[in-house]
Amino acid sequence: MKNTFLIITALLLLTPLFSQTWHAQMCRGGERGLLLLKGQTLKLIMTDQTQSYTYDQLLVNPVRDLYTYSCLVNAVLTDQSLIILDNKLSKIKSINLQNLGILRPRHVALEGVHYAWVYDAFENKVFRIDVGLEAVSQSMALNCLCDKVREMIFHNNKLFFACKKGIFSLDNLQNFKLEHRGEVEDFDFLGKRMIILVDNQVLEGTQLLKQGKVIKELSGTIDGKILLSDKRKKCFLLEPLLSE
């Protein structure tokens, strides 16, 4: 009887951990919810309500990146298009990137609801796209800074991107700044903190938050927790246990 009680207690304690794991080949957290890609299905799960939404249009081209702006506006980057969706995954825009001269799109970052940054690996450039006009409003070559962008995030009115040399930022006056020196695999922000992934270790500065051989990337934050992705196509939450 005592052993049975201990087993039930253990299962109850572990249930919240299992409930915070999702199977998907790509995921992105955005404060209010979680954007998931599984197969050819795109799903948005809202954390502050019980509703979820599914993108019902077949994604024909390979998806390269997902991005969410507080889940109010969501972006799907494919080999040929930038698809902008609202907070119910209804399509706002589908922009043909080939027509804008972006031949090998690999990363996207939303600047609010009106602009999107896209990285073109073919030219090693970042492009700022006016979503409403479906036109490029700005482009910057990265040849002097980066050989290849690994991640790109818009945060605190700056575009941040990681490459072999470190993490750089680009402000609205087109000034570049080295924010973190040294090679990283991925990075994200938890409030004002920069969280980085190096050698399968999740770090804030030099403080170790999580370590594991299967950690593949950082995928945003949800409700003050860090969303991680692993090589087994699972997304799970990490409680950072840090004070602001």
- Which residues face 168 on adjacent strands? 161, 178
Q: So where are the chain's domains?
A: 22-190
Task: Give the single-character DSSP code of 98.
Answer: G
SS3 110: strand
- Phi, psi angles (nearest 5°) of residue 198: -135, 125
Question: What is the H or E stretch that residue 8 is in?
Answer: helix 2-19
- Phi, psi angles (nearest 5°) of residue 2: -65, -40
Q: Between the CA of residue 117 and those of 17, 104, 152, 160, what are the distances in Å?
A: 34, 14, 9, 11
Q: Residue 66's CB: how many other CB atoms inside 10 A? A: 21
The low-confidence residues of the chain, meaning pLDDT below 50, are 1-19, 242-244
Polymer length in residues for the chain: 244
Structure token digits, residue 72:
């109010």
Q: Residue 214's CB: how many other CB atoms inside 10 A? A: 11
Structure token digits, residue 221:
């934050």
What pLDDT, on the 0 to 100 scale, is given for residue 36? 94
- Answer yes or no: are the C-beta atoms of 202 and 234 closer than 8 Å: no
pLDDT in tens, 127-167: 999 999 999 999 999 988 888 999 999 999 999 999 989 99
What pLDDT, on the 0 to 100 scale, is given for residue 240? 67
Judge residue 234's burial from the number of C-beta atoms within 10 Å of its C-beta, 0-12 exposed, 13-18 middle, 19 or more buried: middle
What fold does the segment set 22-190 form as a domain?
A: Methylamine Dehydrogenase; Chain H (2.130.10)
What pLDDT, on the 0 to 100 scale, is given for residue 13? 35
